[in-house]
Structure 1
Amino acid sequence: MRETVEYQPGVCNIGPAEIRRRRASGWLGLAIAVGYLALALLLGWPAPWRMLVAVPVFVSAQGFLQAAFHFCVGFASRGLYNFGALGSEESVQDAEFRRKDLRKALLITVLAAAIAVVIAVVAFLIPIG
């Protein structure tokens, strides 16, 4: 599969270096989520406390989704894109392009939130015996 190397409104706003950064945040969030849930189950925390696993799950899901879509939610919200070295963002000038980017950012955020909610409900329902 060929990596996209140019900005495409509402489709792709980050290149390889930024994609690696988003994937790393996904792995970090996943590690924190697994550690938190394991600790909560080991210590027998009440179900409502276990639901807090949603926070690192959201971070993880958003990181992995951004990497998969080659799209940064934060950049979209600030009207930026980056296909170069980390820290070399450029501005999106066209208003329609910005609207397309914001729609894609909202989709990624909603998907990450849905994943976090599902995992939080599962964590709540795990019986501790």
Structure 2
Amino acid sequence: MSLAPQSPSIYQPGVCNIGPAEIRQRRLTGWVSVAFAVAFLVLAFALQWPAALRLIVALPVVLAANGFLQAAFHFCVNFATRGLFNFGEVGTTEAVHEAEYRRKDQRKALLIVVLSVAIAAVVAVGAFLIPLP
């Protein structure tokens, strides 16, 4: 079972609302956020920060998870909440006029947000539970 739609070049309500250029942007956001999360954890463990402070890693991880999930699903959370889609260059959008389509998009956006928060929570709890030497 594939997470992504078959054709990333056609708007499909609740399935696909971004094309290749936007997908690349989401993937880049994911990688940059992973880099921040790793740098944060390296610093946190090197400086032996308290476990509670290491929970802050959830912030870049939620951004990373959100970026990667949006890329995988070919679906932008922000566009869905604003009733938009884009299959052209980054920065251009078209409106979704049908209320039913907007509802489908908002449900998919909520799923991506929930999954992103869950992933971030797991990573943050892991960082919290790792004992310092």
**TM-score bracket for this pair, using the shorter chain length:** over 0.9
Post-superposition CA distance 1:47-78 (Å, at most 9, x none): 01001000000000000000000000000010
How far, CA to CA, are the matches of 1:12 and 1:3 in structure 2?
A: 8
For residue 46 of structure 2, what is the amino acid of its counterpart? L
Post-superposition CA distance 1:77-96 (Å, at most 9, x none): 10000001111100000000
1:107 aligns to what? Answer: 111
Aligned residues: percent identity? 63
Task: Say if 2:52 is the partner of 1:48.
Answer: yes
1:62 aligns to what? Answer: 66
Unaligned residue ranges in structure 1 (runs of 5+): none
The counterpart of 2:25, out of the listed 9, 21, 24, is 21
For residue 110 of structure 2, what is the amino acid of its counterpart? L
The alignment of Structure 1 onto Structure 2 pairs a total of residues equal to: 129
- What TM-score comes out, normalization by structure 1 length? 0.98
**Shift of residue 40, structure 1, vs aligned partner:** 0.2
- What TM-score comes out, normalization by structure 2 length? 0.95
SS in 2 for 1:66: helix
Task: Say if 2:9 is the partner of 1:5.
Answer: yes
Unaligned residue ranges in structure 2 (runs of 5+): none
Kindly report which structure 2 residues correspond to 1:69-108, keeping only aligned pairs within 5 A, or say none: 69-108=73-112
For residue 80 of structure 1, what is the amino acid of its counterpart? L
For residue 107 of structure 1, what is the amino acid of its counterpart? L
* Structure 1 consecutive aligned stretches of length 4 or more whose deviation exceeds 2 Å: none
Higher mean alpha-carbon deviation, 91-100 vs 1-10, is at 1-10
Task: Say if 2:93 is the partner of 1:126.
Answer: no
Contact 1:3 1:16 in 2 (8 A): no
| RMSD across aligned positions (CA) | 1.1
Post-superposition CA distance 1:12-66 (Å, at most 9, x none): 0000000000000000110000000110000000001001000000000000000
